[in-house]
Structures are given as structure tokens and as C-alpha cells.
Amino acid sequence: MNDETKTDPWAGFARGWFMLRFSDELEAGQVVPLRRFDRELVLFRTASGEAKVLDAYCPHMGAHLGHGGKIVGEGIVCPFHAWKFDGTGKCIEIPYAKRIPPKAGLSCWPVRERNGMIFVWHDREKSEPDWEIPVLEEWEDPEFLPWRHAKLQIKTPPLAIAENLADAGHFIPVHNTHPVPGSFSNTYADHIGEQKIKAIAYPVHGGKDEFESKATYYGPAYQVTKMFGKGLGVIINAHTPIDAENVMLRFAVSMKATKGMTDELIEHFINNMRDGYLQDVQIWENKIYLDRPMLCDGDGPIGEFRRWYAQFYTPRNEAADAAE
């Protein structure tokens, strides 16, 4: 093994918002067991429609609330002894007891539901979120189609996925997409990283498309790419760690159904966006991490990207000092 692969500046899990599911994948009253960040969690939607995330194991006798737990009103009931917890994780009812132990409760994770997606905040320091997921104007535009989404478990570190933001050199060999010389750029500010490009693409399902795109990472794991070409399209790329080796990739596409576009053309455009993105997956699963990659002048600002990305793995006060 190359000594390069033994270093790991990205140990642990990053700080930020991580997508768990699309909103239409969680119905009112539904309970879902999840393993994320190498921890067991339970995701559920209350009777009134609020999405909640708690640590999964009941503090009473250790039952997993995601396996057999039931929603009653705004709380979740343990399948073992029917202890009931509200959306904050506080135990509010024990049917056979006169007194609830004052410390009976579960850790509650911050949740946001935006743009038809459910996000959870992860922070090893247990601090509150210091930035928010922005509302997408396309999500509020009735001319844009509903998300067409998929999921895929990948054995890869999150960095390998996010680093595409700065990788100018992979467009031609991986995607048969030819950037206009001088059009590729990156900018980084606070928790936002952005890529802009103009290019001519020859998609996997045929055709030719001259387009411009703006890909924006909001934090370490949620990317929105807006495509401007023959059609107006949006791609969502969200990757959430399952454990130290695996991530759950959730991917979605939408486009504006403009006047005169046929269903066949819309389907062709969406399939090209989706399958073009998935061309990266085989590479991510089989590459290794190099702490000091041998770069050349056409590669893009990989070093600048890694310095920006490192803030999400650094304690908040140290990250703030480094940014000054």
C-alpha cells in the first residue's frame, strides 16, 4: 500500500446539514430506522406532519424505536414497554408508572425540511446550526417538474464526491463534456463553494448540448447544480455518511417543462442528467485518497477546495480562526 493512503485528515464526520430522505419518501405516521454517522437513529413523521430525528435506543431497556415503534399524535411509542417520547426526545408517558424518571429521554437532532427534502444537522461538538438550507426558487415554481430521485449506497469517503467541484480535468474523459477554455471557475465563501462552467456536452443517451451550469455546495454534503442549455434543469447531489467507509448518495433531477416540450424530450433530458452524473460512481468506489496528489496546471484548484472543505472537519472555533 502506498504510504499516501495511510494519512486521513478527514477522520470522523463533517459538520453541516445532511439529507436523509426526500419528503415524499416519509408519510405521516411513518417510522424509519437509519444508520448514519455510525450511529443508530430513528426518523419519523408525526401526525401533524413534522419530521423528527432521535437517537434510536430507548433509555429504559434498549429497544430500537425504529423497529416496531409507533407514532401516536406528536410522539413515538417504544415497541417494548410503550414509553412515549415527544419530538424533542423527552419521555412524556409511561403507561404503567406514576412517575417518569427526570432524565428519561433521547438525544434530538436538528431537522429542516426544505425544497422537498429532509435534512439533519450533524456536529461532533453538539452545537446548534450556524447556517441554513436556502429555499430553491425552482422548487416553488409550478412549471418545474417534481423531483425524480434515486438512492445509491457507495463505498467511498465523502471527500471523493465533493472534490468534483474543483476537478476541471475529469469532464472530457468521464462525461464527454468539453469546457469552453477559460470558463471553469471556483469561488469559496464561508460554507458555500461554487463552480461555474460553459461547455459542449455529448450525453450518454445521444445528442449535443451547449450549456452553462452553476454547481453550489451548501456545506460539505448538499450540492445544487443549475443547468442552462436546451432546457432549464436542476440536479441535487446529497451524500450522507453511513459509517467510516460508506455513504448514502441521494440524487434527484428536475427541469422546467416549457411550452412545446414533449414528454419524450423531457424524459430524454432528465435521463441524460441523471446517467451522466452516475458515470462518476464507479471511479469514486475504486479510487484511493492521496494526501499530496501530483497535480498539473489544468486540474483545477484542488488544494483551495481542500482548504475550504477542511473547515467542516475542524472544531468551530479553529475553523473561524483559520478563516480570518
Mean pLDDT per 10-residue segment, the chain (324 residues): 54 96 98 98 98 98 98 98 98 97 97 98 95 95 90 92 94 90 96 96 80 96 89 90 95 81 72 76 89 89 96 82 54
Domain with CATH 3.90.380.10 in the chain: 148-313
Of 117, 137, 133, 118, nearest in space to 256 by CA: 137
Return the pLDDT at 323. 52
DSSP code for 128: P
DSSP code for 83: -
Domain with CATH 2.102.10.10 in the chain: 16-122
Return the pLDDT at 281. 86
Q: What are the Cα distances from residue 3, in Å, to 6, 104, 158, 288, 296? A: 5, 47, 21, 11, 21
Residue pair 17/130 in contact by the 8 Å Cβ criterion: no
CATH number assigned to the domain covering 16-122: 2.102.10.10
Number of residues that this document lists for the chain:
324
What pTM was estimated for this model as a whole? 0.91
Residue pair 79/60 in contact by the 8 Å Cβ criterion: no
Angle, alpha carbons 5-285-157 (nearest 5°): 55
SS3 call for 192: strand
Domain 148-313 in CATH 3.40.50.10190: no
